Amino acid sequence: MKKSLIWTLMAFVTFSSINLYASEPTKEIIPLADQGVSTHVINRNIPITKAEFITVILQAVNHKEQLPPIMDTHYALPAMERAEKLGIIELKDYPMETWSEMVSNEEKSGILSKAAANKEIDMEKVYKALSEVLIEKVTVDGETVDLGHNLPSHYMGQVMLPLRNIAEAMGFEVEWDAATYTATLNNGRIESKVQIGFDSYLYKSVNAIGMSAPFSAGVAPKLIDGSVYVPSEYFSMFADCTISDWTMHFINKSRE
């Protein structure tokens, strides 16, 4: 009888212990700054230049203050100089001629590690900012857009998207005027023009009088490898946008 009771108690304790450890929540381990910072929350496979990677971080740090572009030299100079003051980089290791090179995963970890060592930097904001620009795919109404070789790019901390690929997925026809460097979008209801070098975006109704108020996205359209790229904010005139899992999702409103 005693042996039976002992075995019963042992089985109960063992079973209780197993349940206890099985139900204990798994805690996320936050690495110390001197151990390097994990980049698992950002997409390591998306190419981004050294200047852009650091610019995005600095915009997250200085979220209330726009970093002024310097037109007579590299636009990222203010961000790079501030990054050095914050201890994120040493400019001697990043000569200006290398800023347009793609940042390696090893460099990403090193930069983020130094950023985490600065107690004034909110790394949650930094990771959020990076996750919003390191975009791998684009969808329109749930369908993945075929970008071909026109992958998302970055400029002055913003995501730049290939105009024709996204616009055609939204039902627009796109015409290019090489004489004026202007692209015209038309879906039979609304029309919009974008001109290389001009940071002014608007659209108008094809069948009615009036147009939207022009707005600035902070970045003008650019030609990249022969294709017109616009800031992702441009498409906010025609669609609602969300970002998840390194994908930019557009819900098209231009057909309404």
> Of 71, 104, 133, which marks where a domain is finished?
133
Using alpha carbons, select from 63, 54, 65 the residue that is nearest to residue 99.
Answer: 54
Q: What is the pLDDT of residue 60?
A: 87
Residue 219 per-residue DSSP state: S
Model pLDDT for residues 195-219, shown as the tens digit of each residue: 999 999 998 888 767 677 788 998 9
> Of 106, 133, 160, which marks where a domain is finished?
133
Q: What is the CATH number of the domain that holds 202?
A: 3.30.457.10
| 6 confidence band (pLDDT: 50, 70, 90) | very low
Q: What is the pLDDT of residue 183?
A: 97
Q: What is the pLDDT of residue 61?
A: 84
Model pLDDT for residues 58-73, shown as the tens digit of each residue: 988 875 455 555 445 5
Model pLDDT for residues 121-163, shown as the tens digit of each residue: 999 889 988 988 999 899 999 999 999 999 999 998 889 999 9
* 68 plus 112 within the same structural domain: yes
Residue 37 domain-assigned (yes or no): no
* 127 plus 149 within the same structural domain: no
* 157 plus 233 within the same structural domain: yes
Model pLDDT for residues 181-196, shown as the tens digit of each residue: 999 999 999 999 999 9
Instruction: Tell me the CA distances in angstroms from 223 to 85, 121, 150, 182, 230, one per residue in order.
Output: 33, 34, 11, 11, 9
Number of structural domains (the chain) is: 2
* 175 plus 213 within the same structural domain: yes
Model pLDDT for residues 85-129, shown as the tens digit of each residue: 999 999 999 999 999 999 998 999 999 999 999 998 999 889 988
Residue 14 domain-assigned (yes or no): no
Q: Are 93 and 83 in contact (CB under 8 A)?
A: no
Distance CA 115, CA 123 (A): 8
pLDDT at 54 over 90: yes
Instruction: Tell me the CA distances in angstroms from 191 to 56, 185, 201, 237, one per residue in order.
Output: 32, 5, 11, 11
* 147 plus 62 within the same structural domain: no
* 106 plus 206 within the same structural domain: no
Distance CA 210, CA 208 (A): 6
| Residue range 25-44: mean pLDDT, rounded | 45
Average pLDDT score over the chain: 81
* 220 plus 174 within the same structural domain: yes
* 91 plus 164 within the same structural domain: no
| 24 confidence band (pLDDT: 50, 70, 90) | very low
Q: Are 183 and 174 in contact (CB under 8 A)?
A: yes
- pLDDT above 70 covers what percent of the chain? 78
What domain range is 150 assigned to?
137-252
